[in-house]
Structure 1
Amino acid sequence: MKVAPFQPGSEFSLLGLDIGGTKIAGAVVTFAATAPGGDAPRISLEASIPTGARRGGARVLADIADFAERQIAAASAAGTPVRGIAIASAGVVDVESGCIASATDTMPGWGGQPLGPHLAERCGLPVRVLNDVHGHALGEATYGAGAGARTALVIAVGTGLGGAAVIDGRILFGAHGVAGHFGHIHHPYAAGLVCSCGRDGHVESVASGSGAARLYAKRQAEAHVEGASYAAAAAASLTGIADVPESAYLRAPGAQRPVVVRGGRELKALVDAGDMFAREVFTDGAFALGQTLGGLANSFDPDVIILSGSLVHVGEFWMDALREGYRRDAMVGTAATPIVEGSLGSQAPLIGAAVHFLHTARRTA
């Protein structure tokens, strides 16, 4: 379904959707009477629903369509009718068809879902879809911390680790839509640790929140923390995310009973409580990520590197370790590349999806 291209001189509103494994967020994204890249768009009518991912992809798709219809009706009632739907979704996205090419076990059955075509049919509007991290990156590069940069590398480090390269205002998708899976680059610190993709040795396995929990379990087990039940659980947490998707069952130093660490937030609480094992895990993960970024900078030579996600706020020690790792691997020409935090927060993927919509609408109209 085609849409008339953006016409300077009139506002242009879209329904933006951000589909993640935990929640589905939506908002009306309104561009002012200038082409994208000028004033930041206005965000209104923000709402969200739980994803309920464990119910399966078909059920999630139906919920998204219902949610979109309600948001479209609310926008019309508010006097801001939308002219299309712009989606940033978890999973590998076929940007030409709008379908989900594949997805991890965090969203069972999401791979293969006809997201774009289904919403276009249900809502009677043109739909454009891209990966959620790609959307986040495009939002930050266009209107956030990377505004004005010709080339930006954006890294999202939270439960997982992903990213994107934005070159001359466009996402580098790659031949199969998987460009930017920077978490699946090998690093020696991750040797023997199972990644979310099912392989081992990837930097995500030590630098992400879920990976850090597993690394913590591994190091505690290696330190011979007492308790057979803990040792068995720690070993189980390293066998793969299919069995233990979010949790590593751990015993904090000095604790009288096992505690559950589901990722970065709980591990940060242990750091705040003085757990040096937890601090060391975060430090090593940040250093490994910094080295990975150094290698990426040597390859892309970006104007700026933008960091976003929950782990960015672990503490100054985390950022110090990342910068140290970056300096270790960055070449002379890239060593001074600015590394900054993102500025758009949760609105970044909504804005980025809308920017992508306008780019493709102009190309296909």
Structure 2
Amino acid sequence: MNLPIKRYDLPQIMFGVLFIALMTIASIWIVQPFILGFVWAGMVVIATWPLMIKLQRLLWGRRFLAVIIMTLLLILLFVLPIAMLVSSAIENGAPLVEIASHPSSLHMPDFHWLNSIPLVGHKLYTGWHALINGGGNALVTKVQPYVGQTAAWFVTQAGHLGRFIVHCSLMLLFSALLYSRGEQVALGIRHFAIRLAAERGDAAVILAGQAIRAVALGVVVTAIVQSILGGIGLAIAGIPYATVLTVVMFVCCVAQIGPLLILIPAIIWLYWSGDNTWGTVLLVWSCVVGSLDNVLRPVLIRMGADLPMLLILSGVIGGLFAFGMIGLFIGPVVLAVSYRLISLWVHEAPEPEMDPEEALKALDE
């Protein structure tokens, strides 16, 4: 039996693919201003969806009441504090840049209080002044231009206040829409994933949601709690520029460096200025805040997503460079989702069991 030869119309295929590509590019171009806000809103909604469902049950099953309360919570507990922190960073960052930009305004401290330390205080004081006389101020002068550039870069990043407010507004709008139509949106995304990759696509979407919730709750929420508590300690102890330091502390906590990088110099400054009482209080408070992530993070990460620290650090730094302040949230989540999906794909294949030398011999055969 002779089967008919199926002929392909090559120009039709080429023009069809070109038309689809042009439509895709045009669509992305049109929605490009809204992509970051929608992604941010998606992460927030996925992370807080169980809370919204509980609120809906408490409010007699009324979805619109739960949406209103969740939107207000996002404004009060998330958007408003971050906007205040960024605004304060812009206002207080100019004096820091001014200090770092003029060599005559920055000198090595004298540390008179070292003499009050029993037994070794005088030796420490003498050694410190020997270091200063041997070129300590010259070292500060050499390092100062880089300090100024670094401070100016951070202020510039925080200076995109208008763009940040726009994305916050879009995030609130999209969050409200996703809260009200969450089930339909999730069903549509899963349907599209099934159309692309059948059951594996559906599993990939569910796995991505788990990774988003794990990062949002385990990393971002822990960083917010630690930075807020650390900032309260700095403000009560009377540390200058406490709000700006809280912003930097939040970045350090998201990057898994911890709040002690900011709190320890503040403690040293208090003891150096002679305020031993508040220095001791901040020291005790710093021990509590610094160890809080060891208790809080395992409780928040309920899905058991074991994400490498290098992955989180790369996501924070890369996201900050790529998207600005919003990248602190988007960067770790994107890398976490990619990591989980690639890990799932790799583990579908069996692990190598033979000895490496035998594997090489098998290749030669």
Which band: TM-score by shorter chain?
Answer: under 0.3
Task: Give the TM-score taking structure 2 as reference length.
Answer: 0.25
Higher helix share: 2
Higher strand share: 1
Larger radius of gyration: 2
Task: Give the TM-score taking structure 1 as reference length.
Answer: 0.25
